[in-house]
Structure 1
Amino acid sequence: MSDVHIDGSPRSIDRTRSVMRHLENLPGPLDAVLVTGDIADHGLIEEYEIARELLTTRHPTLICPGNHDVRPAFRKVMLDEDGDGPINQVLRLNGLTVALCDSSVPDRPEGLLDDETIGWLHRVLGEAPHTPALVGMHHPAVPLGVPYVDGIRLRNPERLEGIIRQYPQVVAVLAGHAHTAASTVFAGLPLVVAPGVVSTLRLGQEMRTPVPVDYDLPPQIALHVFDSGRLVTHFRPVL
């Protein structure tokens, strides 16, 4: 899931709560919940306090920041830590490594993987060279055909591509940011973009007005199934 944009409003809270309730009530097993950024809408402590309560689940959970997030507040509330450096996190499941990179840039909307994050990702993948891995972040590494999002995508995709090609155990790249379900190819691998929880961004072909954001469509999630070296993704609205 991605882009919950908690701002204290009943709308953002209710939509996030509906998604989490849906995940909690799934009848089958769920190995992990991944949240790819834009947790708080304004990066406020109060927003993260709400988000922390909403995103608490019985499942292992991994959350990375997005361009709306503020690292010190995110770290303090969501991780019980202090600091303002990149928030990179890894989850090692049975037979799968999930590495979520911090692509946020303080006070900027576009994405960047800095030297610290690149070094961290090298170490994480190097520690388990024979275990399949998913690499995720907030900002997509390629244009998606949504001009607003494409203008603030990941700025240094070549560094990410270099790592991916160096570590053949990486099977796919995950992202958020676009508020629309999308799939494409990056560095020869699937790049899967999670839809938005708070809203949906429409393509130009779908709009009769200049405003690309649709607040009426329901929140959506991506359900990933990894089996026999293959990632399959199913997109679901949460009604």
Structure 2
Amino acid sequence: MTTTVIAHVSDLHLDLSERATQRALTVVNHLRDMPGPIDAVLVTGDIADHATADEYAQARKLFDLPYPVLVLPGNHDRRGPFRAGLLDAAPEDGELNQVVRTPGAVFLLCDSTIPGSDEGLLGDPTLRWLDETLTAAGGELPVFVCFHHPPVDLHTPYVDRVRQFGEERLAAVLERHPQVVALLCGHAHVAAATTFAGRPLLVAPGVASTVPLPFEGRPAVDYELAPALAFHVLDDRRRLVTHYRALGQPHPER
């Protein structure tokens, strides 16, 4: 059976501190040491904490992996520095949408950020781009639609107030394109799985920290729980299985 394996990482919040660096290295070294194969590493935003050039330079060094690395911005990122630091592109401030094709899938990386706000929204230009790109892609390969902000409540008030809004517009686009097998996002700092517009909506856990559920009786943001990531495995019947992996104590830098 042929499979496509996606390592899904999110919310590193790199700020040049020892703590953030070590937690990121725990995840990166885990991926680097795996015998594989991994078809893509998807990083769904909040890569930098303050969107400085030095933070993106550190991220670029960390993401030097033997697999394709796909990146999109989160609310802590800024489009111009993100483009310049991670994509070798002009530091423009317009919406940042990308198409990445691998042998087994197509990834549509959508920009859900609103400059100056922690909330998310897929703007009209992004939704038009998404609709047109899905039409052009056809149905030969499965498609993953990816963005930073989840478009549903996850029952974590700390995050739900700054989730992606206007989600009914996204649902209307997805209804026209059955080749979309799942939606992948971050932002919530919690491993979560639900559905949206009839597809799996899979949320990567945070590398920098975890947001507990309100009934767990923990702080609003927990900085002690281990960094984690997700592995999405898609088979040739387009059945998707997700495994979440917590990684324990940070590895020493290599």
**Do Structure 1 and Structure 2 share a fold, with TM-score over 0.5?**
yes
**How many Å separate the matches in 1 of 2:176 and 2:220?**
38
**How many Å separate the matches in 2 of 1:196 and 1:9?**
17
**How many Å separate the matches in 1 of 2:96 and 2:65?**
20
1:122 Cα offset (Å): 1.6
Q: Can you give the 5+ residue segments of structure 2 that lack an aligned partner in the other structure? A: 1-8, 249-254
Q: State the TM-score, normalized to the length of structure 1.
A: 0.96
Tell me if structure 2 keeps the 8 A contact 1:62–1:90.
no
**How many Å separate the matches in 2 of 1:230 and 1:150?**
29
1:28 Cα offset (Å): 2.5
Q: Can you give the 5+ residue segments of structure 1 that lack an aligned partner in the other structure? A: none
Report the aligned-residue RMSD: 1.0
Matched, 1:54 2:66: no
1:123 Cα offset (Å): 2.5
Matched, 1:98 2:107: yes
Please list the CA deviations of residues 11-67 of structure 1 after superposition, one character each: whole Å capped at 9, or x if unmatched. Answer: 111111111111111122000000000011111111111111112211111100001
Please list the CA deviations of residues 49-91 of structure 1 after superposition, one character each: whole Å capped at 9, or x if unmatched. Answer: 1111112211111100001111111111111112111111221
- Pairwise mapping of residues 174-185 of structure 1 onto structure 2 (< 5 A)? 174-185=184-195
Residue type of the alignment partner of 1:125: L
Percent of matched pairs sharing the same residue: 51
1:218 Cα offset (Å): 0.9
Residue type of the alignment partner of 1:113: L
How many residues end up aligned between the 2 structures? Answer: 237
1:95 Cα offset (Å): 3.0
Runs of 4+ in 1 over 2 A off after TM superposition: none
Q: State the TM-score, normalized to the length of structure 2.
A: 0.91
Residue type of the alignment partner of 2:41: V
Tell me if structure 2 keeps the 8 A contact 1:62–1:89.
no
**How many Å separate the matches in 2 of 1:128 and 1:10?**
42
The higher relative CO (CA closer than 8 Å, separation ≥ 6) is in 2
Which one of the candidate residues 123, 128, 143 is aligned to 2:132?
123
Residue type of the alignment partner of 2:169: R
Q: Which moved more, 1:138-147 or 1:75-84?
A: 75-84
